[in-house]
Amino acid sequence: MQLEIQGLTKRYDGVTVLDEISLEVNDVHCLVFVGPSGGGKTTLLRILAGLERPEAGHVRINGEGLAFDEARLRDHRRQVGTVFQSFNLFPHLSAVENVTLPLVKVHGVAPGVAHDAARELLERFGLGDHMEKKPGQLSGGQRQRVAIVRAVAVKPKVLLFDEPTSALDPEMTAEVLEMIGELRAEGRDLVLVTHQLAFARSVSDHAVFLANGKILDSGPAEDVFGNPGNPASRRFMERVLRFG
């Protein structure tokens, strides 16, 4: 994965959430954004997902510029898989139907082919016994794993994760992190926003520390986590890795 960001700025109601940030990474399979809450991580991820428009700046993913008009944003959204912290599953549909629906409605896959692909992926990721259950019948970890399968099913060029374990207890968190680890081991391109720093350190190639809308540290993951160059990121890493 290649990602280039130049002068990206985002404001909400006059408050600057991303302050002219720039970043360039090349040949990275797993990029992680970490930092304190409110630092701009989720906003940046939503821009990369084509869900928010910046006030200024440019983004290129794998050499393709991200155009911020609605028609091209819709096309971009079809090419990425985004997993949110709140699952975003349809409560009236079964797990297999939740995976099948976007394949049919958004990507034009024939219903039978989409259903077979959904069942195969759910089986592969240990959800075969739960595919006919609706979200209300699943644990939080199972719901999030279904959401990840849904994102994987569209064969995205990159998978984006926004705090995928924030709503889960420790056991369910472990289930989801294991699944993300499997995707990383397959060589898929991932962008991850998380407070799970030990996990992020173990799976990421490149880490970026954001605080107050600015990138304060960026580099190989082992350097950012093990020897941060910025005093603010050093204090954050030491505190969270010690007590988190």
What's the pLDDT tens digit per position in 27-56? 999 999 999 999 999 999 999 999 999 999
Report CA dihedral (13, 14, 16, 20) to the nearest 10 degrees: 120
Q: Is residue 142 part of a domain?
A: yes
What is the pTM assigned to this prediction? 0.93
pLDDT score for 87: 86
> Helix or strand or coil: residue 239?
helix
Query: Does residue 104 carry a pLDDT above 90?
Result: yes
| Percent with pLDDT over 70 in the chain | 98
Question: 152 lies in a domain?
Answer: yes
Are the C-beta atoms of residues 97 and 150 closer than 8 Å to each other? Answer: no
- Indicate if the pLDDT at residue 102 is higher than 60: yes
Q: How far apart are CA 38 and CA 62, in angstroms?
A: 28
The reply to whether 95 falls in a domain is yes
Number of compact structural domains in the chain: 1
| pLDDT exceeds 80 at position 243 | no
In a domain, 11, yes or no: no
Give domain status of residue 137, yes or no: yes
What b/e string do you get for 160-183 counting C-beta neighbours within 10 Å, with b at 16 or more?
bbbbbbebbeeebbebbbebbeeb
Residue 132 in any domain: the answer is: yes
> By residue range, what is the domain housing residue 118?
89-156
Residue 72 CA, chain-centre distance (Å), reads 20
* Band of pLDDT at residue 239, cut at 50, 70 and 90: confident
Determine, yes or no, domain membership for 62: no
Q: Is residue 182 part of a domain?
A: no
C-alpha triplet 188, 218, 5: angle, nearest 5°: 70
User: 167 or 52: which carries more pLDDT confidence?
Assistant: 52
Q: Is the pLDDT of residue 144 over 90?
A: yes
Q: Is residue 75 packed enough to be buried (19+ CB in 10 Å), middle (13-18) or exposed (0-12)?
A: exposed
Mean pLDDT of the chain: 93
Q: 57 to each of 132, 171, 191, how far by Cα in Å? A: 44, 40, 19
